[in-house]
Amino acid sequence: MPHPTIPLEGAQFLKAETVGLAEPRGFKALGESAERSAKHTAEIAATIPHWQEWREAANQIKSYAIANLDKLLVEFERNVTARGATVLWAADAHEANQYILDLVKEHNVKTIVKSKSMVSEEMELNHALEAVGARPVETDLGEYLVQLARQRPTHIVTPALHLSAADVGRLFQDKLKEPFSAEHQHLTNVARRHLREDFIIADMGISGCNFAMADTGTICVVENEGNAGLSTSAPPIHVVLMGVEKVIPGIQYLPVFLNLLGRSGTGQKLTTYTHLFHGPPPGRKMVVILLDNGRTNVLKDPAARMALFCIRCGACLNACPVYRRTGGWAYGWVYPGPIGAVLTPHLIGLDKAGKLPFASSLCGACGEACPVRIDIPHQLVHMRHRAVNEPSPMNSPMERLTWAVWAWWFSGPKRYRLAMAMVKLGIRMAKILPWHPGKLGAWTRGRELPRVPGGPAFRDWWRRNGAQMKPTSQTEPITHP
Ligand code: SF4
């Protein structure tokens, strides 16, 4: 299948990281909030027995589902169609957008209420709708805020994590002409009042899909605000946007995922609302769009298939020390954090996002946090291997030349010593020359030059003193009889 045709923001981590650094206050709050969420998730996970067994069960169910994706999708299509829904298969974002634009035209749709859907972010659906004069309204509170602010989500579960209550108060003052307040209840009421009007007049509702059951044709959507319930029941047309990896074999497996998703995503035993759609209600229309958009690229790589197990809980983002410091925009595309660093190169191509797998310290916290036991650290290493061997920014002629020179300098003791002396000299000179932060690019904008240690290098010290040193009792050489 082809890569998405929607113009992307060039998901190149090192270029985009300056976005995060430019907003130190917002991103400090984001980091603290993500850390709190990770702690909360760990605490609530510890309260249920057999947490590890639940994770293993989820891993095995997903493993079966992804191995049998072709059959399960056809089974799901047959069953959901029998319940009165229409199924459309979209190879890429462009095709999926076109299906929706056709519906908008056919039914003269003016206002569309949307519940949270990362797939619609992938499709840049709001831009496509606005381009034909339709009015999409995000109804998840976090999505509503980032839509008003004309920003992108910074987190897949909590999209406005970077905004404080005062930021939201100013946003409502500016965009909705409401009196300023930073009081949470007041702000929630303002959003509720404005959104109610849109639910009433909307001609179409769009939702995502958390799980699709092949055996019954059931679609499950979980949420906390009631907005998905209203988006899908108030308007006469309900469009479901579903990545093809969301199908699971049977409804009996759903509790395993519900048990894990609420706890890992928001530290809840269950999300406040769990909707199960069994086709459209009488007199209504339901259209299910099954989107590939690069997912079959993941299937082609057996070592990477596990990345399709993701249930988008966001736990790996909260656990990641890199995400906590940079925020979601730094990853340059829809999916941030460790799973974004793995998935994005598959979905949009290594040539555009080959740097992302390197946006990790490989500390392993993401793999520990993942409720479906995706081995994210190994997935990252696998994608690094591919990035340096396939066309990508990490395999450019300049990159290869740089590492070849580095290898040559560091493969001989004399050259190594000379290189170290030159580095020390370079740092000393940079310190006495007029120094402007950021002069050497993004790397130096948030970092200080290292201090050159005084005294001789260990190598020189050892040459002078090592021979005279006596082994201590612990290092006494073992003498064989
Ligand atoms: S990779 Fe795992 S932890 Fe990260 S969002 Fe997906 S399911 Fe959650």
For ligand 1, pick from 118, 258, 343, 370 the residue to mutate: most ligand atoms within 8 Å of CB: 370
- Same structural domain, 63 and 143: yes
Among 240, 265, 297, the domain boundary falls at 297
Is 293 a member of any domain?
yes
Does ligand 1 have an atom closer than 6 angstroms to the CB of 314? yes
Query: Does residue 430 lie in a domain region?
Result: yes
Q: In the listed set 247, 266, 297, which residue is the last one of a domain according to the structure?
A: 297
Domains in the chain, number? 3
Kindly state whether residues 46 and 150 are assigned to the same domain: yes
Q: What is the dihedral of CA 393, 394, 395, 401, to 10 degrees?
A: 110
Q: Enumerate long-range contacts of 373-377, CB under 8 Å, 24 or more apart.
A: 373/55, 373/56, 373/58, 373/59, 373/309, 374/59, 374/306, 374/307, 374/309, 374/310, 374/339, 375/306, 376/316, 376/338, 376/339, 376/342
pLDDT above 90: percentage of residues in the chain:
71
Q: For residues 215 and 353, state if they share a domain.
A: no
**Structure tokens, 80:** 């959901």
Would you say the CB of residue 369 lies under 6 angstroms from ligand 1?
Answer: yes
Residue in 312, 379, 380 to alter for ligand 1 test, most ligand atoms within 8 A of Cβ: 312
Within this chain, do residues 267 and 390 fall inside the same structural domain, yes or no? no
In a domain? residue 456: no
Task: Give the mean pLDDT of the chain.
Answer: 89
Check residue 72 and give its pLDDT. 98
Q: Is 304 in the pocket of ligand 1 (CB under 6 A)?
A: no
Residue 138 has φ and ψ, to the nearest 5°, of -75, 130
Candidate of 211, 245, 248, 316 to mutate for ligand 1, largest count of ligand atoms within 8 Å of Cβ: 316
Note whether 210 and 342 are same-domain residues: no
- 262, 297, 332: which is the final residue of a domain? 297
- Tens-place pLDDT, residues 403-412: 999 999 889 9
For ligand 1, atom 8, name the residue with the nearest CA. Answer: 313
For residue 242, which of 181, 173, 312, 184 has the smallest C-alpha distance?
312
Cβ–ligand 1 distance for 312 under 6 Å, the answer: yes
Shortest-distance atom of ligand 1 to CA 156: 5
d(CA 239, CA 301): 31
* One domain for residues 59 and 124: yes
pLDDT confidence tier of residue 10, bands split at 50, 70 and 90: very low
Provide the 10 A C-beta neighbour count for residue 91.
16
User: Which ligand 1 atom sits nearest the alpha carbon of residue 338?
Assistant: 4
* Residue 316 beta carbon below 6 angstroms from any ligand 1 atom: yes
Token readout for 171 is 């946003």
Question: What is the per-residue pLDDT across 186-226, written as a single tens digit (0 to 9) for each?
Answer: 999 999 999 999 999 999 999 999 999 999 999 999 999 99
471: buried, middle or exposed (CB in 10 Å: 19+, 13-18, 0-12)?
Answer: exposed
DSSP 419: H
Residue 322 shares a structural domain with residue 289 = no
Q: What is the pLDDT of residue 5?
A: 32
Burial-class residue 445 by CB neighbours within 10 Å (0-12, 13-18, 19+): middle
Please give the average per-residue pLDDT across 314-333, as a whole number: 92
**Is 65 a pocket residue for ligand 1 (Cβ < 6 Å)?**
no
Q: Are residues 270 and 129 in the same domain?
A: yes
Closest ligand 1 atom, residue 376 Cα: 1
Q: Is residue 118 domain-resident?
A: yes
Say yes or no to pLDDT of 422 above 80: yes
Closest Cα to residue 278, out of 309, 251, 249?
A: 251
93-102 pLDDT, tens digit per residue, is 999 999 999 9
Q: What number does the ligand 1 atom closest to the CA of 312 have?
A: 5
Q: Is 62 in the pocket of ligand 1 (CB under 6 A)?
A: no
**Does the Cβ of 370 fall within 6 Å of ligand 1?**
yes
> Mean per-residue pLDDT for 336-357?
94
> Does residue 188 lie in a domain region?
no
Q: What percentage of the chain exceeds 70 in pLDDT?
A: 89
Q: What is the DSSP string of 34-99?
A: HHHHHHHHHHHHHTSTTHHHHHHHHHHHHHHHHHTHHHHHHHHHHHHHHTT-EEEEESSHHHHHHH
Instruction: Return the pLDDT at 423.
Output: 87
Taking the C-alpha atoms of residue 168 and residue 172, their distance in angstroms, rounded to an integer, is 6
Cβ(310) to ligand 1 under 6 A?
yes
- Please state whether beta strands 218-223 and 211-213 pair in parallel, antiparallel, or not at all (unpaired): antiparallel
CB of 216 within 8 A of CB of 254? no
Q: Is 8 in the pocket of ligand 1 (CB under 6 A)?
A: no
Would you state the pLDDT for residue 434?
64
Residues 246, 213, single domain; the answer is yes
Cβ-contact 274, 222 below 8 angstroms = yes
Residue 425 predicted with pLDDT over 90: no
pLDDT band at 472 (very low <50, low <70, confident <90, very high): low
The whole-number pLDDT of residue 45 equals 85
* Each residue's pLDDT tens digit, 11-54: 455 454 444 444 555 567 778 888 888 988 888 888 888 999 99
- Domain coverage including residue 390: 314-395
Q: Which atom of ligand 1 is nearest to the CA of 339?
A: 1
Q: How far is the CA of 332 from the centre of ligand 1 (A)?
A: 18
What CATH number is attached to the domain comprising 230?
Answer: 3.40.50.10420
Q: What share of the chain is helix, strand, coil (3-state, %, to 5)?
A: 55, 10, 35
DSSP state, 362? -
On whether residue 391 sits in a domain, the answer given is: yes
Does ligand 1 have an atom closer than 6 angstroms to the CB of 129?
no
Half-sphere exposure of 9 (CA within 13 A, CB side): 18
Does ligand 1 come within 6 angstroms of the Cβ of 38?
A: no
Strand partners, 247: 212
pLDDT of residue 33: 84
Q: Is the pLDDT of residue 455 over 90?
A: no
Dihedral sign, Cα of residue 467, residue 470, residue 476, residue 481: positive
Is 6 a member of any domain?
no
Residue 82 and residue 221 in one domain: yes
Do 144 and 208 belong to one domain?
A: yes
Q: Does 433 have pLDDT greater than 90? A: no
Q: Is the CB of 260 under 6 A from ligand 1?
A: no
Same domain as 356, residue 258: no
